[in-house]
Structure 1
Amino acid sequence: MATVTLLSDEEVSADALAVFDDIRATRGTEYINNFWRALAHDPVMLRATWDRLKHVMAPGMLDPLVKEMIYVAVSTANGCEYCVHSHTAAASAKGMSPQMHTELLAVIGMAAQTNALATALQVPVDPAFDPNS
């Protein structure tokens, strides 16, 4: 259950509506998801978050599909159900196959296990892996 109401286009400020319009234009869709509708209570935060997300998720040295898959992994580690679902859908739309998703989940699971073991054992970082050595 949301802790704030999800604002409709009719309920948001002019500043928030301008962000919604940018989201629609950038994504080529009329759909504004619930995350943005919740953030619309604070148009400054909405704009800052959208602008940063647009920049970070834009094509660059990492392919947009890779970025979405990383987002799924980090969202899983952080326990963000909303982000896991929305970025799994985005990754699928960018070409993630069911086989790629299965492999991604295997990597997430393996990393979670080995991270927990290394943390519990307090294994020191090998000098070969430490750029400060």
Structure 2
Amino acid sequence: MTAINSAAKQVTNKLATRINLVKPAEAPPAVAAIFEDIRKTKGPKFLTPTWGFFAHDPELLTHWWGLQKRLQKLAGEVPKKIMFGITFVCATEVGCPRCINNAQVHLQDQFGLSDGEILELSDFENSKIIPESEKAVYRFCRKMAFDQPTSEEDFGALRAAGYSDRAIVEMISLTILESGFIRRARAVAPFEDGALWPKENLPSATYANNVDSKKNL
């Protein structure tokens, strides 16, 4: 085998390990309609590669997006800033750079959090400005997301903060969803062609630099 053929085979083998995301420009009508709903609901720069992954099965894409839309964007009992805070806390705990950036940009763009407030949230247990009622939510969801034991005290803190059964269901549903998305990004993103995803559909340059980086492993 010549050196050229050997190099070509290595490239082919490398590409074979990649998952080809369904890009917006090539999406079939059913997928394109969901992509457009994501753009309208979250903003164009939040049509991230995650959706191109699930777009290989339009029915699954419909349900994954429908669940996130309900929990993060539609009316519920838990304030939306706290819901996005849950996503940020989970991403910070697992150390997924692109996931952290996605949640951070949401919090800054849509809720006006400053860089200082983001730092407080990243170390919420020691924060002097985050109220205990909010810390109780993040503490509970972080434990649940990463299979740490929860306690009567954890539930008691949620009740003391005034959260109903429905509110707790919302928190848990988002924690299950977002911790799953974060695990997917860490395990699968390095093997996707995310570098080809349109830059106008990414939250920031930081996200773009980590879109399929081995840093996600």
Please report the TM-score for the alignment, with normalisation by the length of structure 1: 0.70
Question: Which residue, 78, 82, 104 being the options, matches 1:62?
Answer: 78
Structure with more relative contact order (C-alpha pairs < 8 Å, separation 6 or more): 2
- Which residue does the alignment assign to 2:19? 4
Q: Is 1:15 aligned to residue 30 of structure 2?
A: yes
- Which residue does the alignment assign to 1:33? 48
Cα distance between partner residues in 1 of 2:38 and 2:126: 33
- Which residue does the alignment assign to 1:100? 117
Contact 1:75 1:83 in 2 (8 A): yes
CA RMSD of aligned residues (A): 3.2
- Which residue does the alignment assign to 1:73? 89
Deviations 1:88-130 (A, max 9, x none): 111111211112111111226896xxx7xxx7xx9xx5xx738
Return the offset for 1:81.
3.2
Cα distance between partner residues in 1 of 2:77 and 2:53: 31
Unaligned runs of 5+ in 1: none
Return the offset for 1:80.
3.5
Return the offset for 1:74.
1.3
**More helix per residue:** 2
Return the offset for 1:55.
0.4
- Which residue does the alignment assign to 2:39? 24
Cα distance between partner residues in 2 of 1:82 and 1:107: 20
Change (3 A) 1:69 1:15: same
Count of aligned positions = 119
- Which residue does the alignment assign to 2:191? none
